[in-house]
Structure 1
Amino acid sequence: MPLPRKAHAFIALGLTAAIALTACGGGSDNGENADGTVNLSLLVDVGEQSMNIGNAIVEAFNASQSDVKVQIESRPGGTDGDNLVKTRLATGEMNDLFMYNSGSLFAALDPGKNLVPLTSEPFMSGLDETFKTSTSVGSDFYGVPFEQAMGGGILYNKKVFADLGLEVPKTWDKFMENNAKIKAAGIDPVIQTYADTWTSQLLVLADFHNVAAEQPDWAEKFTANQAKFAEPPAISGFERLQAVHDAGYLNKDFASATQSQGMQHLVDGTGAQYPMLTSTVSSYVDLADDAAENIGFFAQPGDDESTFGLTAWTPAGIYVPKSTEGAKLDAAKKFLTFAASTKACDAVSKATTPNGPFMIKDCKLPEGLPTAVTDLDKYFTDGNASPALEFLSPVKGPNLEKITVEVGSGIATAAEGAARYDEDVKKQAQQLGLKGW
């Protein structure tokens, strides 16, 4: 299954009292008010970060002009929120604009049927190509970034690396060489935290840039049931997960440790590296005075240094349903033009601490961010990032984290785990009615 999406477990119900809510789901008309203004409703999930970002953009937009007024409506996270979005789209009662995931979850909304394409809008030229790919169907693009991107790779303790004279590895062989030196120094080379089972997936999922570098059309073939995880090059992620276990490079409590314990282990320097998403940066910055500066980030290395790069998770987007028409559609595009501008990025940076790069080309991150965020940003500015598989294919199996726990614990081999995951995704693909399955 995919890593946790924007709708995390925390539900910031207290925030909703401070937000102007619409009386109902979709817009009640398609035209202007008597005074010539247009009211729009934007649906945003109730997660704290989502609400902070949504409020920042809406308040800045409303203050910038007087012709359009946007209000926010909150929705639940998780499955309840997904069902609400799909129901409103199906019944034509969706809000004038709505925020939702990019990638495979976006594709499951049947964009060609339900959403307004934005392909020819001038603001689209200013969007990051990685994001555009994850909100596209065929040659059409549908979304504007709602927040920042994140990456999957390795968080590492810079002091440990400096003390041992290590450099950031750009190949898997060099990564394993570093691990041997780290272990010899009495430090756990690779932190794993299988009490939180989703964290077991990183060495598999973050390896996808390497898969795509070797076989650029792998995701397309995978979707058509013409490529398998049990075969090269995709089996490499499972093999790497097995390799760090079999070499004895994990913390002894890997089976019972939680993510928060893993972060503390990393910050304390008793563990050197933690395969993780950069969205978790905020979870360790307060664990030590130097944590924000001392914890860096690098992409998961593969076999070829020349193709070393990042597997990226693109952010949620803002979309326009086809039920938004007339003056409301014109107003929605005006809002999206603002949301795709540096003014919106500046408003977000003032309201929150960005945990990754903006997917709007002219937007710059503010100074003083944690080292891992600036390390991540460099992959994007260098054009050295590619989307994770879930943003290129709708095929996902629900049991990946269970399988990766077994492979990472030595219970199953890489070959066994990859073959099991191929069976897992087969069921999902058949449920989606994809050809070739």
Structure 2
Amino acid sequence: MAGAARYKQIVDQIAAAIRAGDLAAGTQLPTHRELARTHRVAVATATRVYAELAAIGLVGGEPGRGTFVLDQHGYHGIDAERTLPVTRIADLSFNQPLAVDQTAQLRNALREIAGSGTLDSLLYQHPPAGRSHDRAIVANYLLDRGIDVAPDQVVLTHGAQHGIDTVLTATTRPGNIIAADTLTYPGLLLAANAHRLEIAPIPQAGVGPDLDALEHLCRTRPIRAIYTMPTVHNPLGWTLNADTRHRLADIATTHDCLIIEDGTYAFLDNTAPLPLQHYAPDRTFYLASLSKSLATGLRFGFTVAPTTHRRALETSLRASTWGTTPLITALATTWIADGTLTHWEKARRADARHRQHLAHTALHTLHYTAHPTSQFGWLPLPPHLRADTTATHLAHTGILVTTADTFTTTTHPPHALRLALASPPLTQLPTILNHIHHTINTIPG
């Protein structure tokens, strides 16, 4: 009991010093042995102290470097603070493509829907997976993505996040293991935590996942599913080549793993190889939405399910939202069928290419990387900078960014930022990016 009380006293002492500002963000704490010697406790107790401080978000350990005090302003991590201490200049933490010229299109589409002879159908509840007519429109659209399925394999969702949650509800149980890249979409992390699933990290090997490591993982652990973004990966921007996709599908087939293929940003690369769904249709759930191509507020998505799992997905939808809102579905399918979606996908690609050119120009002396037509980029920080403190510095100048720990499936995220480029007006973006470059270069080490 005395040992436990002593351990808690050390935790409280260090926590109080951090919260009072006596231990500033970025301060390197003593090694485990030094802490144990100073407080006359066992090394195991010192390790327990640091583990508790890390669990409450006050410190972070870095292999080969030590333990550091984390910034407490809250501008890093998956639930980052969004209220800035100064006037906001730009939000590069979230992609919300500008709705230039879309207001008139929305007004016209709503008039068209209002004048249709089936307006009363929007007041009635649709089937959980969507009406066959609406699913057929989506299935036809997916042909251009290399996905050829019958309409009854398509289920409609309230966006890609809802699709992920629906698939996990239908196919997993608490304690199951999902393999995902070491850096991956934060929505997967939130959903996996809610479903009490373990995320097994897949290391990176060049431009893509280390498939040897994935194969070893599948051979040694009971992997239930592999979550992947093969086209315009978020946040790293890679697009996997056909050979890599084929091997990934073979690994999943050999070890009887499901594949959750997130195609949310796939529309940005119209030269990409065929989706994984083409290589392993009997085990792949392909999901996407119209949030980044049409409008983030539309909340309309779709999931292509293997025939053997479609009923389970429908049950999952029935238990949650009972499918999509009829009015939103009518608007989305109208824009898909009349070519509006194709128009905006082309426009978003051109806009993204322009924004990436501006980003590479402004950040050329840093190690900025991005897909040439993606709506975001990845910015590793110089060795002397930390992501949490850098995000706070930028927040105090009016700019929100996202730190690498938002995306990580490991306990030791890299010090890097993801910059979402789609939200600011194009004319303001060069100034914003130059400001980021200047700020990073002037933060003291």
**TM-score, scaled relative to structure 2:** 0.24
Greater RCO (Cα-Cα under 8 Å, separation 6 or more): 1
**TM-score, scaled relative to structure 1:** 0.24
